[in-house]
């Protein structure tokens, strides 16, 4: 599932997604999606970006891939596919 989260955020780059949006895409609840996102952040694959201004939305987190993870994804997608033997 962590790979799906990273792929989702990379596909939507540079637009950050909220935890709720990630949960909806994964068809999971927000708490479970948050655990996956926190795991990915701990590993350095994703990061949180600016919180919206306003008192009632302080707990919203928006997520995107880190520049390092994005470079790895782009490098991997540019490699020619090896034929199966």
pLDDT tens readout for residues 7-63: 999 999 889 999 999 999 999 999 999 999 999 999 999 999 976 565 555 677 899
Burial of 22 (0-12, 13-18, 19+ CB in 10 A): buried
Residue 18: φ, ψ to 5°: -75, 165
Q: Report the predicted TM-score, pTM, of the whole model to 2 decimal places.
A: 0.77
pLDDT at res. 54 = 57
**pLDDT reported for residue 50:** 75
- Cα distances (Å, whole numbers) of residue 6 to 55, 66, 69: 29, 10, 8
The whole-number pLDDT of residue 47 equals 94
Q: What is the pLDDT of residue 84?
A: 46
First to last CA, the chain: 28
**How many angstroms separate the CA atoms of 24 and 77, rounded?**
26
């Amino acid at each position: 599932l962590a790979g799906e989260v990273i792929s989702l955020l990379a596909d939507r780059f540079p637009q950050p997604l909220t935890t709720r949006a990630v949960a909806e895409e994964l068809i999971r609840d927000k708490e479970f999606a948050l655990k996956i996102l926190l795991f990915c952040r701990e590993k350095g694959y994703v990061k949180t970006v600016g919180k919206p201004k306003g008192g009632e939305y302080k707990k919203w987190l928006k997520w995107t891939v880190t520049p390092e993870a994005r470079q790895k994804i782009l490098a991997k997608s540019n490699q020619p596919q090896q034929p199966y033997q």
